[in-house]
Amino acid sequence: MLKHPPRPRYHFRSLVVGCLLFAVPLVSSGRAVAAGGAPQGESVTQLEDRLAEIDAELDGLARFTLRSGAGNIGWISRPRERPTDSEWVEITLSEDTLIDRIALVPVLWHDAEHGPLATGFPAEFKIIAGPKNDDKGQIIARIGPGENFLPRVAPLVIDVKPMTAAWVKVESIRLSPAARTGKPVFNLSEIMVFTGERNAALAQPVKVSSTVGGWGAPAIYKDSLTDGFTPFVMDARGAVSSPYLAFFDSEVPYSLVVDLGSSHPVDEIRIHSADASEHIPQINPIDFGIPYHLVVEGSNRQDFSDATSLLSYRRDSIYGAGPILTRNVPATTCRYIRLSIPDPYLSPIRKGPDRSVGIAEFEVISNGRNVAKGKKVILQRRNRISHHAESSITDGRNHFGEILSTREWMEQLARRHDLETLRPVVAEDLNQMYLRQKANLTRMYWIAALLAAGIAFTILVGRNLRMRAIMKTRERIAANLHDELSANLHGLALLGDMAKKNINSPGKLEEVIDRIQHLSNRSRNAARHCTNMLKAVTIGEDLVEEMKYTADRLLSDIRYDLHFKGEAKLQHLPRRTRNDLFLFFKECLINIARHAEASSCDVRLDASSKQVVLTVTDDGLGATEVPPSLRRRAKMLRARIRIETPEPNGTRIILTLPGGRGSLNTLKSQDS
């Protein structure tokens, strides 16, 4: 029997895969190096997104704008001999208060090389708090060198577990050196103890372990730790406004009234001083427009017949002035707030009206909210008083932008410090990733060149191997042709001799002639089939004819019917697919001939643009599972196969092969 030629064992796709496997170690090595430089395995895109997020967040945060001119700087302890010597500061609150956050504002020093930096801020410290009847208290926070919070300019904001306390103590564990002397020292500009939005430490009594005297004593006294003045000017984003200014003679009384619209429980007053000049240097003293004495009263009647004093503030020197005067007041329900100035600012250089008042914003706080924002202001108007920018008193803005609550301001400055510390690290990581990518790109150019050479070599080798496979196939066909036809011709020669011997015996002669005719027909069919195989590049070129021939040979004792539909579509299948489909068909017939004990067989091949369906049905013994050989060939075709039992008995094998454009292209690409 003629056998189909074997397909070549060496496939072109295998050669390409081999080249890729050769390149993979180089590419993988480049990826490992690139990934190793990113923090926590971040990619270039993730680092770029992270840097963009940092820049976007920084753009919306308050900025580090520092005060100018003279003013108090906070508290400075006396120098110590060892960093481990203890220094502490303790604040006594007005009552037991629920606290949840503490902000420590550093004393700043202008470093000649690095600019403003915190000086004397402890490298390690703890915070202790307790209620009134507890002198020992408990440690609510411990900040060490592992926190990596120095150097810094911004406040250090510390979240603590909410607790009720009447006193808060900050105690050093390891001191930092002073910028000027290098001696261990403890410096702080301000301590804020928050209960919600309210700073409970404002203007509260302070005890310290030591202090420095001398000519700078007025600027570093201990009470400056809770006066609300920081080294910063509130510089937030948003629309800006000019400060309100008033000029008048000394004998003219001055006051303004804010109508809150309805009664509110007022518990805090904030007065923002005027930034009267944007020139550098400024043309006015730093305390310009800040009264020496001011009084704030609250009332529920417009005529203030039921007035309650909320705040009386005096300052004796320039050290009592700052950008924001903030004071907690006893909670008082009122609708009208009056600001009176018995002793306004006296200009040392101005001619004409020598008294003045400057206010950037007047805030009336109720439960953490400015209830005076946007409210009506009633000014005392007299001919001898000159007013400017009256609407800015309650517009919620200062010279730099929107006004924030003290807590939010401190949090934004602390957040800016964290992001500005993180940003150079991310930028450096991203730059290293770019450098590694550049090196990897150069490496990939070489890999691409090697792959191109490898592919060219693979194409040449694959072509030679396919030509050798074709030659082997033709040699096999020629051998089959020689074997079968030579045997048949030899048989014909023997039968010819028998015919000569029996020429006078008509009965025997007729039998010999019939055998000669049968053997001749068989030889003719074999020769025709082998000739067709020699002309074709591979088996399966004329799939329908080969299926018919194979059925005729394998089902000689079984009645069979072949039905073909869409024969033209079969020619669009790749050669490899046609080969596998033919082998699947042949395997079905072999199983029927050997094992089914069938008397009839029906074969249907339906080809369309969407799919190819081959159905083989017999009336034999039947089967419940697909034979492994058929399942294996179906897997090679990437086709679906199922088995059915027709009535009354037998087996039906159904093979469904995708034949759409996408599947056809895929199959062709695999075949090439």
Helix, coil or strand: residue 612? strand
Q: Which residue type does 411 have? A: E
Cα(232)–Cα(34) distance, integer angstroms: 42
Domain coordinates of the chain in residue numbers?
12-51+415-470, 65-233, 244-403, 538-671
Q: Does the pLDDT value for residue 5 go beyond 50? A: no
- The 10s digit of each residue's pLDDT in 154-211 is 999 999 999 999 999 999 999 999 988 899 999 999 999 999 999 999 999 999 999 8
Strand partners, 191: 104
Pairing mode of beta strands 184-185, 369-370: unpaired
The residues, ordered by sequence, that sit 6+ positions from 263 with a Cβ below 8 Å of its Cβ are 300, 333, 334, 335
Q: Does the pLDDT value for residue 302 go beyond 60? A: yes
Is pLDDT larger for residue 575 or for residue 599? 599
Under a CB-based contact definition with an 8 Å cutoff, are residues 208 and 75 in contact?
yes
The residues, ordered by sequence, that sit 6+ positions from 193 with a Cβ below 8 Å of its Cβ are 91, 93, 97, 99, 102, 168, 199, 200, 201
Q: Does the pLDDT value for residue 670 go beyond 50? A: no
Place 29 in a pLDDT band, splitting at 50, 70 and 90. Answer: very low
Place 40 in a pLDDT band, splitting at 50, 70 and 90. Answer: low
Secondary structure of 364-430 in the HEC alphabet? Answer: EEECCEECCCCCEEEECCCCCEEEECHHHHHCCECCCCECCCHHHHHHHHHHHHHHHHHHHHHHHHH
The pLDDT assigned to 579 comes to 78
Chain centroid to Cα 437, Å, comes to 20
Q: Which residue type does 565 have? A: K
Is pLDDT larger for residue 554 or for residue 80? 80
Helix axis angle, 506-535 to 406-501, nearest 10°: 150
**Summary count for the chain: helices (H), strands (E):** 9, 30
Q: Residue 223 to residues 74, 201, 219: CA-CA distances in angstroms?
A: 8, 11, 10
Is pLDDT larger for residue 171 or for residue 353? 171
The secondary structure of 281-325 as a DSSP string is S-SS-TTTT--SEEEEEEESSTT-TT-EEEEEEE-SSGGG--SEE
The pLDDT assigned to 636 comes to 81
Under a CB-based contact definition with an 8 Å cutoff, are residues 163 and 129 in contact?
yes
The pLDDT assigned to 525 comes to 67
Cα(559)–Cα(552) distance, integer angstroms: 10
- The dihedral over CA atoms of 6, 12, 13, 14, expressed in degrees to the nearest 10, equals 80
Is there a shared CATH topology between the 65-233 domain and the 244-403 domain? yes
Residues 37-58, buried b or exposed e (16+ Cβ, 10 A)?
Answer: bbeeebebeebeebbeebeeee
Class of domain 244-403 (CATH, top level) = mainly beta
Q: Copy the structure tokens of residue 455.
A: 């592919």
Q: Which residue type does 576 have? A: R
Q: Copy the structure tokens of residue 363.
A: 């805030």
Over residues 643-665, mean pLDDT: 78
Q: Which region among 254-258, 272-276, 377-381, 535-539 has the lowest average model confidence (pLDDT)?
A: 535-539
Pairing mode of beta strands 308-314, 355-366: unpaired
Categorise residue 630: left if φ over 0, alpha if ψ from -120 to 50, beta otherwise. Answer: alpha
CA angle 590, 595, 596 (to 5 degrees): 95
Place 606 in a pLDDT band, splitting at 50, 70 and 90. Answer: very high
Categorise residue 238: left if φ over 0, alpha if ψ from -120 to 50, beta otherwise. Answer: left
Q: Does the pLDDT value for residue 380 go beyond 80? A: no
Q: Which region among 174-178, 232-236, 463-467 has the lowest average model confidence (pLDDT)?
A: 463-467
Pairing mode of beta strands 355-366, 108-111: unpaired
Average pLDDT over the chain, rounded to an integer: 84
266 CB burial (10 A radius; 0-12, 13-18, 19+): buried
Nearest Cα neighbor of 258 from 269, 242, 273 is 269
Nearest Cα neighbor of 379 from 245, 178, 197 is 245
Residue in this structure with the two tokens 């600027």, named with its chain if needed: 219
Phi and psi (nearest 5°) for 454?
-65, -40
Over residues 336-361, mean pLDDT: 84
Tell me which architecture the domain covering 65-233 has in CATH: Sandwich (2.60)
The pLDDT assigned to 350 comes to 62
Q: Copy the structure tokens of residue 82.
A: 């060892």
Helix, coil or strand: residue 617? strand
Q: How many residues does the chain have?
A: 672
Place 540 in a pLDDT band, splitting at 50, 70 and 90. Answer: low
Place 508 in a pLDDT band, splitting at 50, 70 and 90. Answer: confident
- The dihedral over CA atoms of 416, 417, 420, 421, expressed in degrees to the nearest 10, equals -150
Helix, coil or strand: residue 466? helix
The pLDDT assigned to 447 comes to 93
Rg (CA), the chain: 50
Q: Residue 238 to residues 142, 156, 244: CA-CA distances in angstroms?
A: 37, 25, 19
Cα(263)–Cα(295) distance, integer angstroms: 20
The pLDDT assigned to 77 comes to 93
Over residues 265-272, mean pLDDT: 96
Tell me which architecture the domain covering 538-671 has in CATH: 2-Layer Sandwich (3.30)
Under a CB-based contact definition with an 8 Å cutoff, are residues 101 and 157 in contact?
yes
Q: Residue 669 to residues 13, 166, 539, 575: CA-CA distances in angstroms?
A: 9, 81, 19, 11
Under a CB-based contact definition with an 8 Å cutoff, are residues 599 and 576 in contact?
no
The residues, ordered by sequence, that sit 6+ positions from 59 with a Cβ below 8 Å of its Cβ are 237
Cα(320)–Cα(106) distance, integer angstroms: 19
Under a CB-based contact definition with an 8 Å cutoff, are residues 608 and 569 in contact?
yes
Place 486 in a pLDDT band, splitting at 50, 70 and 90. Answer: low
Chain centroid to Cα 431, Å, comes to 19
The CB-side HSE value for 497 (13 A sphere, CA atoms) comes to: 5
Place 496 in a pLDDT band, splitting at 50, 70 and 90. Answer: confident
Residue in this structure with the two tokens 């940092």, named with its chain if needed: 54
Q: Which residue type does 275 have? A: D
- The 10s digit of each residue's pLDDT in 572-597 is 888 878 878 888 888 888 888 878 88
Q: Which region among 27-31, 43-47, 309-313, 603-607 has the lowest average model confidence (pLDDT)?
A: 27-31
Over residues 320-327, mean pLDDT: 92
- The 10s digit of each residue's pLDDT in 355-378 is 889 999 999 999 999 999 999 998
The pLDDT assigned to 453 comes to 93
Q: Which residue type does 60 have? A: G
Phi and psi (nearest 5°) for 401?
150, -150
Cα(107)–Cα(109) distance, integer angstroms: 7
Cα(75)–Cα(222) distance, integer angstroms: 5
The residues, ordered by sequence, that sit 6+ positions from 285 with a Cβ below 8 Å of its Cβ are 69, 318, 348
% of the chain exceeding 70 in pLDDT = 84
Cα(562)–Cα(544) distance, integer angstroms: 10
DSSP state of 84: T
The pLDDT assigned to 488 comes to 58
The pLDDT assigned to 478 comes to 56
- The dihedral over CA atoms of 292, 295, 296, 301, expressed in degrees to the nearest 10, equals -150
Q: Copy the structure tokens of residue 550.
A: 């194979």
